[in-house]
Amino acid sequence: MHEATDRSETTELGTVSEARLLSVLDTAADGIIVIDARGRIMVFNKACEKMFGFPAVQVIGENVKVVMPTEYAVAHDEYIGSYIRTGEKKIIGIGREVHGRHADGTVFPLELSVGEAQTREGRQFIGILRDLRPRKESEQRLAELQSDLVHLARVSAIDEMGAAIAHELNQPLTALMLYLQAIRRAHAKGIDLKAMTGDILDKATGEAERAGHIIQRMRQFVEKRDPVRQLRVLDPLVDDAIELTLLGQRHRIAIGREQEDDLPLVMVDPVQIQQIIVNLVRNAIEAAGQSKHPAVRVATRRTASHVVLEVSDNGPGIAPEALPKLFQAFASSKHRGMGLGLAISRTIAQNHGGDLVVDPGGQGRGACFALSLPIRDDKKAIETDQGGQAHGGAG
């Protein structure tokens, strides 16, 4: 690029090269600014004009601070001075995310990489700039879509369990109705229930509360909410999720539960982690159902770096041909549901810095899914646990 400045070039050739250079600069999609050792703008290409809202003629010769927000502008001259004195590179050849300031005063994120050139006019710095706003927007959009999808999978899980949950709601409603009608009928017949009335009404209230509790459980699970991170003990979350899963089962099954004492805390989104557990336990119950004496085991333990939750069953295991597609979305072998469960569960686990893996079993052994979540070291945990209730109502 610097051939144009070579003294040995003919003037004619120099002009051609210079024209070519200008064309390259103005065609570039990225903003390009060249400054001299004192920070004065020498080149300000078309992309920069658009990005900052200044015409080149207005800023050429000005200090580059005109396109910086105050906090950079104040120190910029010192940065250049310091580099020229010490040769210590803080940005040159590295590139980093900074902020720029538009002519209208708007401050926006930029990716800046800086190169350096020795010319006969002295040292020059070349900055290549990319407006990060479109990327930030698409990142945010992606995060929103992912959160929607995770929510959708929860709704889908409840939907699949719908009939069984309706059954579970029918129990307290039936009892409640019978209790109230018993009083009504006794009254109509002129039977004096005396002290029993209070007792029956208490029982009826208890059944109404039971129905309310079931609905509350489901609502918390499907409620659309922003992802959070809270420092939590895993086991109570596990027990709650198992309870929710069992609500949705027609055939009740005992879940074997093992847990290590004093497991360290994990930084999690409680509802999302429960979503994984509900998913795994439902799958395990379904698989175990194919066995004569269905058994499902849920265990929590720790390794050096992770808290691990294992859900295993005594079903037939996972067929080798089903294994490659197991964690893929929409590849479910089941008739019901969207086939999102395991794909989303793994995504959630990975978003938590953990993972979800499977030991497929087979040949008389059931499958075992293991969810691992990194243990938070205490120092970090204290800093980040802003307002995270260790045992909040959200469980």
Partner 1 sequence: MAGQGDIFVVDDDPAVRDALSLVMSLEGYHVRSFSDGAAFLAIARQSVPACVILDVHMPGRSGLDILKELEADRYPAPIFIISGQGDIPMAVDAIRHGALDFIEKPFDADTVVERVREAIAAQTQRAGNGAGDLLTAHFPGHDLLTPREREVLVQIANGASNKEAGRKLGISPRTIEVHRARIMEKLGARNAADLVRIVLKDMRA
> Which spans of this chain sit near partner 1 (rule: CB under 8 A)?
163, 166-167, 170-179, 181-182, 184-186, 189, 191, 200, 203, 206-207, 210, 250-253
Contact 289, 251 (CB under 8 A): yes
Report strand pairing: 296-302 vs 355-359: unpaired
- Burial class of 285 by CB neighbour count within 10 A (0 to 12, 13 to 18, 19+): buried
What's at 310, amino acid-wise?
E
Q: How many CB atoms lie within 10 A of CB 236?
A: 13
113-119 own/partner pairs: CB under 8 Å, 24+ apart: 116/92, 117/1, 117/2, 119/2, 119/5
Q: Which is nearer to partner 1, 91 or 186 (CB)?
A: 186
Which H/E stretch holds residue 209? helix 196-222
Exposed/middle/buried for residue 317 (C-beta within 10 Å: 0-12, 13-18, 19+): buried
Closest CA to 277 of 329, 236, 216: 236
* Between 203 and 365, CB nearer to partner 1: 203
Q: Which is nearer to partner 1, 199 or 223 (CB)?
A: 199
User: Nearest distance from residue 221's CB to partner 1, in Å?
Assistant: 21
Closer by beta carbon to partner 1, 149 or else 200: 200
Q: How far is the CB of 180 from partner 1 (least distance, A)?
A: 9
Burial of 146 (0-12, 13-18, 19+ CB in 10 A): middle
Q: Closest approach of Cβ 193 to partner 1, in Å?
A: 9
Do 299 and 371 contact (CB within 8 A), yes or no? no
Please report how close the Cβ of residue 192 comes to partner 1 at its closest, in angstroms: 12
Shorter beta-carbon distance to partner 1: residue 253 or 329? 253
Q: What contacts 97, CB < 8 A, 6 or more positions away?
A: 109, 110, 111, 112, 132
- DSSP-derived letter for residue 307 is E
- Rounded CA-CA distance 381/388 in Å is 11
CB-wise, 15 or 170, nearer to partner 1?
Answer: 170
Nearer to partner 1, 297 or 301 (CB): 297
CB atoms within 10 A of CB 120: 8
Is residue 296 within 8 A of residue 278, CB to CB? The reply is no
Q: Decide: helix, strand or coil at residue 191.
A: coil
- CB 208, min distance to partner 1, A: 11
User: Which residue, 182 or 381, is less far from partner 1 as judged by CB?
Assistant: 182
Instruction: Measure the CA–CA gap between 68 and 90, rounded to whole angstroms.
Output: 18
Instruction: Output 20 or 185, the one with its CB closest to partner 1.
Output: 185
Could you tell me which residues are beta bridge partners of residue 230?
Answer: 268
- Which CB atom, from 24 or from 166, has the smaller least distance to partner 1? 166
